[in-house]
Amino acid sequence: MEGLSYGVTLKIITVVLQTVTNLAVAHYLSSTEYGVVAFALVYINFLTQFGDIGLTSAAVQREHLSDDSLYTAFTIKLVLGLLLGLIGAGIAYALAEGGGGRSVGGVLAILSANFLISSLGFLPQTRLTRNLDYRSLAIVQLVATLASTAITVVLVMNRFSYWGVALGYTGATLASVLAFNLMAPTLPKLRMDVMTGMSFMMFGGVMFSTGFLTFAIMNADNFLVGWLAGQAALGNYALAFNWSFVATLQILGILVSVLFPLYSKIQSDRAQVKALYLKSLQYTSMLVVLLNVGLFCLAPQFLYLVLGGGSEKWFPALTTLRILCVDGLLLGVIAPIFPMAVAIGKPGIALRAIALAAVIEISSLVPALKIANIEGVAVAVTIACISQYIVYVPALRKELGIVWRELAMAVGPSMVGGCLMLAIWATTFLHGAAENSWIALAGGSLLLGTCFMVTCGILTRWSMYSEIAAVVRERRMRP
């Protein structure tokens, strides 16, 4: 709970600072100038998939990590960062000389330096994560975000154009490395134990494959919709996708960062791992059900007022948004399994699950789009998400001895609360009893949220809220 509190607080601050940055960039850069950065980031985002290959996860997951093992991982990370930096610089040179644009090449060259710079923070970051020092980790991320905002805003306001954005990215990386080494000073050493290195690479290879497949299925639908259906359809689908997943993905990011090192710490005590998994599932399901069912019910008001500015321009995305809310809910319920499986040394479970989802999604996207447009794509993506349960549920039974009744006890209160929200929506909002007004949106959010929270409280005998209150009291009593 303490780790989550730091994560949520950091996320709120980050969103505010990123909003300031985005507003400054939008105000001072032209669409062409912003396109230079966006084009360079296409290459960087692809290379980033190879930037860690699971090394950090492998180092954190190890129950006992010697100095030799840690320095071996650092050496591999440093070599990898240098290699990717050189590849990025090579692409930048080719773009500049081949007519792809000197501006894009220059920005790409600056951004490529981040691969080598970030590797210098590997040692202290790994130590802080293994020590469950969530406070220090949050401070480092906050420093990096502040640096990015300050550098970018100041430079673009002083007409540095896209160079200001590129230097903002690099400044954030430098700031995070410096902050990491101040929080946990660690003298870097080059060392290579071949057997340890091979062990890291084998574990990291599974993690990399999982991450790469995740990257593929998170982008395949947008790519195919834009390619086959055109920009207008892509705009509606991308908006629905982004907003149905935005809350869930933020929760998942915080959850994984907190749970993975904690699971790794207790990996040898399967009873404790099981208890932590069921508890995290209870809290996670509560959050994702509330957010996704709430958005499902109030989607017309949200699209009309918040995103449409009082117009119906985004109403073609309504059905897609609602379908993807179901996907977001299912994805959120799956979430606690991933860090647990990796932490107990079973990353293959996550790889098999995501591989199954990738095969189903990629093979069904084109026919789904032709049969039912972007709504069909949303259904295909949701079915692919559901397929992961085929792998995960038997794995929970085998690894932790979890049975259906225990899963139902963990997610049951949230599901009942979600069904009550849908019942209220069906009787109040579905038949047009609520107009697309701010009063309807605010009143509906308050009504649905209150009913959900009270229902969960009653069904859990208020234990969840008592636990949260106990954590708050305990933190206040600390010297």
The whole-number pLDDT of residue 364 equals 93
Question: What's the mean per-residue pLDDT of the chain?
Answer: 86
Which pairs with CB-CB distance under 8 Å and at least 24 residues apart come from 74-79?
A: 74/119, 74/122, 74/123, 74/188, 74/189, 74/190, 74/191, 75/190, 75/191, 75/192, 75/197, 76/192, 76/197, 76/200, 76/201, 77/52, 77/119, 77/122, 78/116, 78/119, 78/120, 78/122, 78/188, 78/190
Q: Of the ranges 87-101, 256-270, 399-413, which one carries the lowest mean pLDDT score?
A: 87-101
Residues contacting residue 135 through CB under 8 Å, at least 6 positions apart: 6
**Section 337-350 average pLDDT:** 86
Predicted confidence (pLDDT) at residue 294 exceeds the cutoff of 70: yes
Structure tokens of 66? 């010697």
What integer pLDDT is reported at residue 240 of this predicted model?
Answer: 85
Q: Pick the more confident residue, 82 or 19.
A: 82
Q: How buried is 433 (Cβ within 10 angstroms: 0-12 exposed, 13-18 middle, 19+ buried)?
A: exposed
* pLDDT of res. 24: 83
Q: Which of 236, 252, 351, 244 is nearest to 4 (CA)?
A: 252
At residue 413 the predicted structure's pLDDT band, cuts being 50, 70 and 90, is very high
**pLDDT value, residue 478:** 63
Res. 370: pLDDT tops 80: yes
Task: Please state, in angstroms and rounded to a whole number, the distance separating the CA atoms of residues 39 and 105.
Answer: 10
pLDDT of 305 reads 87
| Integer Cα distance of 61 and 191 in angstroms | 20
DSSP string over 101-145: -HHHHHHHHHHHHHHHHHHTTHHHHHHHHHTT-HHHHHHHHHHHH
Three-class SS state of 460: coil
Q: What is the mean pLDDT of residues 92-108?
A: 76
DSSP per-residue codes, 410-426: HHHHHHHHHHHHHHHHH
Confidence of residue 456 (pLDDT cuts 50, 70, 90): very high
Q: How many residues does the chain have?
A: 479
Candidates 50, 60, 55; CA nearest to 130 is 60
Lowest mean pLDDT among 2-6, 65-69, 319-323: 2-6
**What tens digit of pLDDT does each residue of 202-228 get?**
877 787 788 778 877 777 887 788 788
The DSSP string of 257-284 is HHHHHHHHHTTT-HHHHHHHHHHHHHHH
Q: How far apart are the first and last CA of the chain?
A: 19
Q: Does the pLDDT of residue 180 top 90, yes or no?
A: yes
What six digits make up the tokens of 229?
Answer: 């259906």
**pLDDT score of 247:** 66
Residue 360 in this model has a pLDDT that exceeds 90: yes
Looking at 112-116, 275-279, 290-294, 345-349, which range is the least confident one? Answer: 345-349
- Measured over the CA atoms of residue 76, residue 137, residue 184 and residue 195, the dihedral's sign is negative
Query: What does the pLDDT average to over 420-427?
Result: 91
Residue type, 57: S
**Residue 153 in contact with residue 24, Cβ under 8 Å?**
yes
| pLDDT given at position 45 | 76
User: Residue 266 is which amino acid?
Assistant: I
Q: Determine which of 23-37, 389-403, 451-465 has the lowest per-residue pLDDT on average.
A: 23-37
User: What is the structure's pLDDT at 479?
Assistant: 57
Instruction: Give pLDDT, residue 172.
Output: 93
In this predicted model, what pLDDT tens digit does every residue of 243-279 receive, in sequence order? 887 667 777 778 888 888 888 888 889 899 999 999 8
Q: Which of 199, 185, 224 is nearest to 64 (CA)?
A: 199
Among 265-274, 419-428, 437-446, 461-470, which stretch is predicted with the lowest mean pLDDT?
461-470
pLDDT at 170 over 90: yes
> What was the pLDDT predicted at 430?
63
Tell me if residue 401 falls in helix, strand or coil: coil
- pLDDT of 27: 77
Mean pLDDT in residue range 127-150: 92
In which band, very low, low, confident or very high, does the pLDDT at 446 lie, cut at 50, 70 and 90?
A: very high
pLDDT of residue 466: 84
pLDDT surpasses 80 at 65? yes
